[in-house]
Structure 1
């Protein structure tokens, strides 16, 4: 008795992956815009003359201004936003982050930093990048200093850092890894935050902090 051997059915072909969208940079005209445009051109971030952007092209709008507040004023362009500012303070950096914009200081702008900033604008990080978080905390308030007219208690730098990462959706283990401390320490800090803000849970603590300008 002979058994006929048949070839196993071939697996269906997988669809070809979609090509990554092209990236184009549009620098809003204004003081300092020519320097940024020249850097973008040398970095290969500007479309070549006569080139038309397709529907799959992501356009990053670059605004050059004295500070993030002025840069954000009147910006109505949809899509990724990059702010190049002469002065970037803690409050301005927070406002830029809340607006979904990437901000970089004009003094530190090079072809490389511009390319990195454009990449961050096109591919937003799932959290505030750690160097950015560090900058936000270095000028943070001292414990006990009131932050608003409502008399909301101030948070320490460590409490603020944990709260910022909580607001970005991180769990205790990830927060501990980012802040180079133990998970037990993170839990204790969260208990301190909730007691200080009289919050019922993590979500309530984050909502309270956002409402009163703590993060």
Structure 2
């Protein structure tokens, strides 16, 4: 299968050029064609490929594979010692794979089918800034399906949350909005908003997806 890549629209190229401190990007994949396609999209997006330079903690490592597991295996020798920010791009994404990626330190995940140059660039910059970025499709895979056999063990250094904050966090992970959370917990939407504001501040996250991702990585949920 071949893909035709065209030059980006001027508006997108201009926006990319104005992005400060653009990270260098490394792409790892067992399939050379998949790696080259992602590299081409990154170049179209105006991002720099790191080449043979030594890895830096400011670089973003893009792991590409048919599954999340194979993507992570493709860059396994460099993890976690390189210090690079990890972005996973996979053709197929299961709940188990999403959890494995988060536990491997992935800052962002994309399905290959939705990995346009624009979305790849946005995910790379989010990973570079240390933010979590999960698309709606990825988040759906993460919270869908039966729970794992054993509850995750809370890791040392994980933020301490109140029982109410944990209840809200679990409901957020299940995809519920504020109104549904308020009905479930029999409280007002204003209370729910306050709890979410407090827990996001305590977790030091920027959005709901980032909160869920961090909670999974640290064993809070």
TM-score by structure 2 length?
A: 0.52
Residue 61 (structure 1) shift: 0.8
Residue 161 (structure 1) shift: 7.4
**Rg: which structure is higher?**
1
User: 1:12-27 residue pairs with structure 2 within 5 A?
Assistant: 20-27=20-27
The structure in which a higher percent of residues are strand is 2
Q: Which residue number corresponds to residue 112 of structure 1?
A: 118
Distance 1:61 1:130, change over 3 A: closer
Gap runs ≥5 in structure 2: 1-18, 152-165, 188-214
Distance 1:129 1:86, change over 3 A: closer
The higher-RCO structure (CA 8 Å, 6+ apart) is 2
The structure in which a higher percent of residues are helix is 2
Distance 1:183 1:103, change over 3 A: closer
Q: Which residue number corresponds to residue 169 of structure 2?
A: 162
Match of 2:99 among 94, 97, 100: 94
Residue 130 (structure 1) shift: 7.5
Match of 1:37 among 36, 39, 47: 39
Q: How far apart, CA to CA, are the structure 1 residues paired with 2:133 and 2:124? A: 16
Distance 1:164 1:91, change over 3 A: farther
Q: Which residue number corresponds to residue 157 of structure 2?
A: none
Q: How far apart, CA to CA, are the structure 2 residues paired with 1:38 and 1:187? A: 48
Gap runs ≥5 in structure 1: 1-18, 151-158, 167-174, 190-208
Q: Deviations for 1:10-36, whole angstroms, at most 9, x for unmatched residues? A: xxxxxxxxx953311111253110111
Aligned length: 152
TM-score by structure 1 length?
A: 0.53
Q: How far apart, CA to CA, are the structure 1 residues paired with 2:86 and 2:64? A: 11
The residue matched to 2:26 in structure 1 has which SS?
A: strand
